Structure 1
Amino acid sequence: MKIAIDAWGGDFAPHEILKGVKESYTEDCSLILVGPREQLIRLYSEYQMDEARFPIENAPQIIAMDENPTEAVRKKPLSSICRGIQLLAEKKVDAFVSAGSTGAVMAAAWLGLERIAGVERPAIVTSIPNSRAYTLLLDVGANVDCKPRHLLHFAVMGAEYAKITLGLDNPKVGLLSIGEEENKGNELSKAAYKLLKSREHMLNFDFIGNVEGYNIVDGKADVVVCDGFTGNALLKFGEGIIELIFKIIRENVTEPALVMRIKETWKAFDWSEYGGAPLLGVEGVCLICHGKTRAKGIKSAILKAKELVENGIVPAIRERLSRLNTEEARGAK
């Protein structure tokens, strides 16, 4: 297996990226660093790494976090992000991991990778801790505006992802709304509800209807589907409120035993434990990491990339969406 890693992506690149890659080394997986070759060679000496174990793919251009994503991708085809996506598109690697600009990774993937089985919009999926295990939420930022059919495809892809990462045979999938009743929500959610309900006999999951925000954390649904604007706002709010709660606790709890318990509890909410957020719907495993990702998060992302490749997430999504397309075509006759 070969995994390409964006060596210059994120707030703490390249040092934390190299640390995470070095810690992830195994003989059965080739980890390829994508970035400016001359600078990487100098850093390899510092970190006692070598090209025999960690091959370098030269990418002399860098996309900064504050650059316009689409413009940067078009103007910098030799950037670490664009080159990593190109390697994935050319089947030279099995997966690509980046903590760089989410918008740039999205734009590069949109322009450079084929979509799976008629998917109009890829989606970013993330794991949210719930009272039992985890709830998968998508989309969390790939698509600001969505159509009902996009949400249908998100549900299909999220269910396949849940089968692999959560070990579920028949995931429970809910549509995020402001009430459980069928007529609740905006025009998008009401239309998406009708579409999912009409396709219920064709689906690879248990559609449980509308769910509300608190159902993301109470374990009612295994997968929750929404548009990317809502999902991203929800995700950022959750990150902020969790940080605030633990900041207050740390400032007011000093007893050593309790401090240790708090640190252990924090692991369930630490996004670096989960690795990157996969971009589903493209031909290839592409993981987008948090911009503040450090070595532990990079290692987690590499492990997740290996898991998704080994368990065939792309073929699984392709097969399910192709089957859905076929059944819809038959039903239209």
Structure 2
Amino acid sequence: MPVRVAVDAMGGDHAPGVVVEGVLDALAEAGDRLTVLLVGREDEVRAELDRQGAAESDALRVVDAPQAIAMGESPTVALKAKPQSSIHVGVGAVKNGRADGFASAGNTGAVMAAALFGLGRLPGVLRPALPGYLPTPTGTCVLLDVGANVEVRPEHLVQFAQMGAVFGAAFLGKDDPTVGLVNVGEEPGKGTDTVKAAHATLQALAEKDGFRFVGNVEGRDILQHGADVCVCDGFVGNVVLKLAESVATILPQMVRSEIGRQGLDAEQAGRVGGVLKGMLAPFDYQAFGGVPMLGIDGTVVIGHGGSSARACRQMVLSTAGLVEQNLTARIARALRDPAPEGPS
């Protein structure tokens, strides 16, 4: 049976054009394992399908949502004022069983709020979290939380670690990923009271269940793959993620300046540029498409507001993949038993 993904056709800076194009590309790649509900203003979505030479089919259906939440709108205000938005209707499709997952490159706050109130949290989940992806010399590191929770308690960090380990196993293809706690030093006694308390509980969890907690990971070690999954509050995570993203912008500028300073000819500059392009490819968010909300009772993936058709394609495929891997149920199982308390 194909996976059914509801897609916010009105979400993102370039919707609905790039969203429709990305959906069509995803359907072409996935074949009969995927069906899509395109949720948005029906006339606009159908017009875009027609412009791109496509039409509804057994694998592609248009679902009318007469309202759209703009990227700059207040999530709380928009959710109340626009109950028939594409975000509401898309989340509703998951809630009522019409879709297995929802994907949107729209207003992040609105998607998060709609998912939280529409689908609810998994039993025992204190706060949902958002993961991010960071390239390393040996693969990819999952970082969470990257912005959903700027202030946390120790038990939140512990749950982020548990959810991150489950997601890391699914995303990285590792049965038993390592988990580290982002801190200002490697020693257990370093950091804030919150981080120290979380460290103690995670250490106890490792001793009880074989959880692969590797201890504290310093900022300099994150991109060196200090752990498969790095855990922190959303304030730190967002700063780290955006700093890493800036590498793709800053390095080309620095390399161009150095090429000019050294007076390299066109052939030499071309070779350097080729190396640089290869180095920066893993930093391209479009390769991942979006990130799932971990801890929600359903599959919801949030894409970048500036998503291209390529990013939208990957967002849809990623959503289908997480459904196929039964990520939500796996997180629920991981959190079924309470984590042991660390030593006082």
**Could you say whether these structures have the same fold, taking a TM-score greater than 0.5 normalized by the shorter chain as the test?**
yes
Gaps of 5+ in 2: 260-265
Match of 2:289 among 242, 252, 275: 275
In structure 2, the residue matched to 1:110 is 116
Whole-angstrom CA distance in 2 between matches of 1:5 and 1:83: 10
Contact 1:89 1:283 in 2 (8 A): no
Matches within 5 A, 1:271-310: 271-310=285-324
Contact 2:158 2:202 in 1 (8 A): yes
Whole-angstrom CA distance in 2 between matches of 1:271 and 1:205: 29
Contact 2:9 2:15 in 1 (8 A): yes
Whole-angstrom CA distance in 2 between matches of 1:199 and 1:287: 29
CA offsets 1:78-108 (integer angstroms, 9 cap, x no match): 1111111111122211111111111111111
Matches within 5 A, 1:248-259: 248-249=254-255, 254=266, 255-259=269-273
In structure 2, the residue matched to 1:65 is 71
Match of 2:40 among 35, 38, 58: 35
In structure 2, the residue matched to 1:318 is 332
Matched, 1:4 2:6: yes
Match of 1:166 among 155, 163, 172: 172
Whole-angstrom CA distance in 1 between matches of 2:48 and 2:37: 15
Whole-angstrom CA distance in 1 between matches of 2:174 and 2:52: 41
Contact 2:180 2:230 in 1 (8 A): yes
Superposed displacement of residue 328, structure 1:
5.3
Superposed displacement of residue 202, structure 1:
4.2
Superposed displacement of residue 38, structure 1:
1.2
Gaps of 5+ in 1: none
Aligned pair count reads 328
Whole-angstrom CA distance in 2 between matches of 1:301 and 1:40: 18
The percent of aligned pairs where both chains have the same amino acid is: 38
Output the TM-score relative to the length of structure 1. 0.93
Partner SS state of residue 168, structure 1: coil
Superposition RMSD in Å? 1.9
Whole-angstrom CA distance in 1 between matches of 2:253 and 2:112: 32
Amino acid at match of 2:98: K
Matched, 1:13 2:18: no
Match of 1:96 among 86, 102, 108: 102
Match of 2:140 among 134, 141, 157: 134
Superposed displacement of residue 256, structure 1:
3.3
Match of 1:192 among 195, 198, 204: 198
Output the TM-score relative to the length of structure 2. 0.90
Match of 2:86 among 67, 80, 85: 80
Matches within 5 A, 1:208-247: 208-247=214-253
Contact 2:6 2:103 in 1 (8 A): yes
